[in-house]
Amino acid sequence: MSRLQETCGFFEMNQNAPLKPNENWRSTLLDKDMIHLFFKLASLNGPIFTDDKARLDYLTTIVSGFLELLSSIDLQDYENLGVANTLKNISIMFPSSCLLSLPQDLFTSFIDHLTRLTCKMGRAAALEEALHRDDTLFLEAYERMLETWMELVGMMKDTSIEKLKPPSIEVFNSYVQCHISPPDGIRAQDEMDAKEEIDEVEEDDRERFSDQLCSIGILGRIVPEHSIPLLAKVLEDRVSRLHSQLQRIQHQVSPQDTSMDMSHLSVLYEDLHWIVLVATNVLSEEAEGETPMIPPEIMEYSISQTKSVDLHTTLKVMASPGQTVDSIPEGNLKTDYVIRLISAVFRLCEVENRAIQAKLTDMLSPQIGSTVVSFLRRWMAAYLLPDENYYAQVSHTLLTAFGRDTEAAQWTISFLLNRIISNLAIWGSEEHLMEDTMQLLVSLVDQRSKAIFVTKCELLWTLAKQEANHQPPLSLLPSKSRRKLLQALVLAGSGVTDDESREQYYQCVLQSLHDKFYSTVCKEDFTTKSQNAEVKEVIISLLESLCGVADGTRIDNLNRIYNFLMPLLQECVKLLNVYHMCEDVVPLCLELYSEVIQKQLCYLGEVRKRSTVNGEGEEEERYNDILLVMELLTNLLSKDFIDFSDPAEEGEPQSGSQISAADVVLYGLNTIIPVMDADLLKFPTLCSQYYKLIAFLAEVHPEKFVCLDHELFKSLMASVELGLSLYPLCLVFHMLLLETFNMDLLETASTALFCLICLHQEEYRELVNQLLHRQTDTTYQQRLLEAFNNLTPPTLTLTINRNSKITFMQNFDQFLINVRGFLCVR
């Protein structure tokens, strides 16, 4: 007792009492994984906190202690990821009101440490990437740090974003420096040939580092007055160096000198690649499924420069890509920096064009070409011809440069078309660059307001004529690029305002495709020659082109495209018969039907929609073909509840009886259901699509199942029973409660378990009882019993509906928190 009192007294007197465990704890406490326990304390949350004050007190203690630890040690490599996770947990687990209520000095210290560590980990991650290390520990840690910054920006953007400006500048500068060469940057020089390395990289940088770039773009927009001038000047400098280097190569004779200059070019291209990537993400946001808009921070920054900017000088800089900013009077002083940065990219395009004219194509980089096209696509979608109604305030400078009914906007569209045609001429063999280029062309005409401007350019008509005459370089494009080309050309037709000219345009674009299809497929000897490699290649190219035409369908060109495609779709049945064993042709045929259904069927009346689905009972053993057929039938089924057709078009078919989409789907299922055995249902995508189609049909048209043929109904029910038995309740119960699984799948997992419990309530009770009886510790047994009672309380209705599933998911989440830990261990 006296020993206990002595020890307690020691702790009361000494606030820094040392932890001195005996040697039995050595292996545990010195284990590297032990540090994760400390890091987990940063995510402590839940009912353990009685109120907000208790949470704030705890946060203050953990942050101050953690920062003190970071100040007193040099982190080992393996500790960086844990530290990054801790800082991220602090930012996401505690509400913004709590984090922002920290003592001012402590919060400032927290931001300072976060800034220092972010820059340090960023430099280490860049070195890790340059050395091509398999272990990406620093890369993961750096991305966690950027995620922490994004949490802070989200919570502070409407209140105290000014506090984040100095650290945003530091992190932004550090990122740019890590990705450009000395003396401005610190990027490590790789001795490997740059072009060879680009070919070996499986994933493009803009995809691989998309999250990083997005975060850096957001930080750059917090301080546009710093980031945009910085990027503009660095990019202008590198473009000027590139121009000088290419001029030097043009006048050289010695191969040795050229080899030396190529190494310099590789360094320049890597710099340009990353500067343009960063500029893309600062000036624009990825707008998947949303209307692309100029970010408000960029708009406000441009407006703030109004008094110091000369509009005429700014437009002169933009429209003179062949000149440097310094060569234009007052260009360095009176130009809007947003347009100056955009103009630097235009100048890079012009330097490449001049290199092509000088026959220096071999000295250019397809990676840079792809990066620039990606910039132009994202920038153009937001900035070119903006709708003023979407903005609370608009920059007069940006509106004059890129607004509707302006000469500058028309010049910009011509410049973009020139870039597209240039890429088509010299980079036709570069598949990724061609895909990016075609996507830029599609984006340029995907809105009628832009297509009107595009069709005013003679270059667009030149493209259409080249396609009609099957002239190079368009005739040499890969089939996938041709698909995008045809989609763009069809969409562009909506921009021709004169009816007669529009018909001439569509005749120019579509007639040659029509003629080529019939001259190939309807030849007398087509069947005998169909398996020749050259003939198959032509067929694949034609089908890709037709898919592109279908992709270009919209309400204002529906009739024209429908009338063009219908006869060809009927002939495609012949292709299915001829190529029924060719897995590269059949999927394209089915995809064409699916695209037509998806793009057109919701606009078509009863008479016309009947003819689009002839011949869809083609049986195919390949699983990918079955998947495509099911996707086609699912799209077809949507006709019955997504219908934008003109009621005036709804007429009686010649037979006098209407055929609904559900009838056609059931007819198609005659082919699908008999082949859906246990082996095919092992493919996750195929299994999901099959049951999605069945559930969709049952939900929209349950009455159709009553009229099914007996054998078809029997096969259908057999497949449903097979699906229910593939993953029985006992298997799901064991997997979710006694094994580890990804908690990101909580909603899916809880729904699956709940549905099985509803269907097999007695079996569920038996499984619970068995699990309870296996617990030898009465404390654990009682705790487990209470958890199961809370999981399915008497108030929970065991019927499969939305409210019950949501309630069960919430109960299941709490259940896992309470008992799954000791269940998995025991």
459 Cβ neighbours under 8 A, 6+ residues apart? 414, 417, 418, 421
In the structure, how many helices (H) and strands (E) does the chain have? 40, 0
The C-alpha atoms of residue 353 and residue 322 are separated, in whole angstroms, by: 10
User: What is the largest distance, in Å, between two alpha-carbon atoms of the chain?
Assistant: 108
pLDDT score recorded for residue 119 = 97
Return the CA Rg of the chain.
Answer: 32
- Give the side-chain half-sphere CA count within 13 A for 341: 28
pLDDT score recorded for residue 33 = 59
**Do residues 592 and 546 touch, judged by C-beta distance below 8 A?**
yes
pTM for the complete prediction?
Answer: 0.76
DSSP string, 628-685: HHHHHHHHHHGGGT-----GGG----TTS----HHHHHHHHHHHHGGG--TTGGGSHH
Q: What is the DSSP letter of 208?
A: H
Segment 307-353, tens digit of pLDDT:
999 999 999 999 999 999 999 999 999 999 999 999 999 999 999 99
pLDDT score recorded for residue 571 = 85
Domain boundaries, the chain: 33-192, 224-404, 441-598, 616-646+659-726, 729-825
Residues in the chain: 826
**Do residues 279 and 341 touch, judged by C-beta distance below 8 A?**
yes
What are all long-range contacts of 722-730, with beta carbons under 8 Å and residues at least 24 apart? 722/677, 722/678, 722/681, 723/681, 723/687, 723/691, 724/759, 726/678, 726/681, 727/752, 728/756, 729/756, 729/757, 729/759, 729/760, 729/763, 729/764, 729/767, 730/763, 730/767
Segment 239-289, tens digit of pLDDT:
999 999 999 888 875 555 556 668 889 999 999 999 999 999 999 998 777
Residues of the chain with pLDDT under 50: 1-19, 191-201, 604-622, 641-657, 825-826
The structure tokens listed for 269 are 């291209």
Position 359, amino acid: K
Q: What is the DSSP letter of 580?
A: T
pLDDT score recorded for residue 439 = 95
pLDDT score recorded for residue 491 = 95
The structure tokens listed for 420 are 């597209």
Q: What is the DSSP letter of 17?
A: -
Segment 375-417, tens digit of pLDDT:
999 999 999 999 999 999 999 999 999 998 899 999 999 999 9
> Please, what is the end-to-end C-alpha distance for the chain in angstroms?
36
Q: Quick check: helix, strand or coil at residue 104?
A: helix
The structure tokens listed for 649 are 């078009």
The C-alpha atoms of residue 482 and residue 544 are separated, in whole angstroms, by: 7
The structure tokens listed for 397 are 């400078």
